[in-house]
Amino acid sequence: SSQRLLAVIAAHYTVAIEELTPAQIIAWFEQDSKVRREQGPEAAILKW
């Protein structure tokens, strides 16, 4: 769910979910996409 994913992102930045900024969320998605491209889908957090 979205709540679970936000918890993963917040843990990555060591902040509370409520303190996440849109820029942090976007940067996290971009990094996860880069991991998927460079290391394969198994290494990425998102599986879709």
pLDDT at 48: 74
Is 11 within a domain?
Answer: yes
Is 12 within a domain?
Answer: yes
- The residue range of the domain holding 37 is 2-43
Dump pLDDT digits (tens) for 1-48.
799 999 999 999 999 999 999 999 999 999 999 999 999 888 899 887
Is 16 within a domain?
Answer: yes
Is 21 within a domain?
Answer: yes
Is 13 within a domain?
Answer: yes
Is 48 within a domain?
Answer: no
Is 9 within a domain?
Answer: yes
Judging by beta carbons within 10 Å of its beta carbon (0-12, 13-18, 19+), is residue 28 exposed, middle or buried? buried
pLDDT at 38: 92
Report residue 20 as tokens. Answer: 């996440």
pTM: 0.85
Contact 32, 45 (CB under 8 A): yes
Domain count, the chain: 1
